[in-house]
Homo-oligomer: A and B are copies of this chain.
Amino acid sequence: MKSLHILLLIIMGGIISIPASGQDSIHIGTRHTMFSQILNEERAYWIYQPEKQAGEADKNYPVLYLLDGDVFFHSVVGFTRFFSSSRASAFPPCIVVAVLNTDRTRDFTPSCSAAHRDGTVHSEDKPQGGGAEKFYRFLTEELRPEIRKRVSTGSQSLLVGHSYAGLFTLQVLLDHPEAFDTFMAIDPSLWWDQGIYLKQAKQEMHKKDFAGKQLYVAFATQQRPNVKLNQFSLADSLKAKIIPDMEKQHLHVIYKKFPEEMHGTVALPGIFDGIKSLFRRQLRQ
């Protein structure tokens, strides 16, 4: 009996100590998985929930859907905390949902293509990609209801993507502008399938209504050594030929270039600047 009591005390000591060490730990989110019927596979996502600000107990915060989520999660959570506590910004506290990848080329591209970055196609290359519409359906028909079950969310939402995920973000804006309120596309891969996005956008833009929606789009313009790319001229085409059409259809657009960044480094400066630029508040001092 005595040894059992001692064991019990040791175990209870262990239990009592757990909340104490838990308090000392800095959590930024929770990991989850769900089975997607649409994609027919298990998908992982992470959720960050901001603390409720004073006097906002009943308020539900917007949701920022972050593609390539695990790579940028910590930084973007930091940005949302920074801007939502800044007097210079009208950015609200945000729930951040990081969506993790299984096959990003498949999920983020709007068409099946074998074309290279410079537009060339070689006979030996196998076409790939084309799953963007399916992935969009996963995001909005499966993941979003799942998030709403777990967290009280506001009605506003943001979609944020870089590279292929930036292209996906532009494609969702074009095909399903009602699905999100704010779109941030950082160095979107406009070269995909010989610039198919620009062609489709040029044809279809006049049918759209983007009232109340906003887009931040940014490009890294520092050349990568030894990478042939027609991305720079495509970025200029987006600005000259597509954005004026978007604005005609009532989209609020901010377009930026980052001359000090390359494709691989622009995502975080772009997301930071995107939040800052879209949600800038007139400073009182």
Contact = CB atoms under 8 A, between A and B. Distances in A.
A130 to B, nearest CB: 26
A191 interface: no
A72 B264 CA distance: 22
Contacts of A32: 24
Interface stretch (A11-19, A136-144, A194-202, A234-242): A11-19
Nearest to A4: B4
Copies of the chain in the assembly: 2
A25 interface: yes
A73 B28 CA distance: 11
Nearest to A282: B225
A268 B77 CA distance: 13
Interface in A256-285: 260, 262, 264-265, 268-269, 272-273, 276, 283, 285
Contacts of A82: 71-72, 75, 268
Contact of A265 (B46, B76, B88, B226): B88
Interface string A80-117: 01100011100000000000000000000000000000
Given A27-B25, A74-B28, A11 B15 contact: yes
A78 B29 CA distance: 14
A283 B88 contact: no
B8 A26 contact: no
Contact of A224 (B30, B264, B283): B283
Given A29-B26, A30-B26, A31-B23, A74 B71 contact: no
Interface of A: 1, 4, 7-8, 11-12, 14-15, 18, 23-32, 46, 71-79, 81-82, 86-88, 224-227, 260, 262, 264-265, 268-269, 272-273, 276, 283, 285
The 9 closest A-B pairs by CB, nearest first: A75-B78, A74-B78, A26-B29, A24-B31, A75-B75, A24-B30, A11-B11, A25-B27, A74-B77
7 contacts: A14-B15, A26-B31, A27-B27, A78-B78, A86-B265, A225-B283, A269-B272
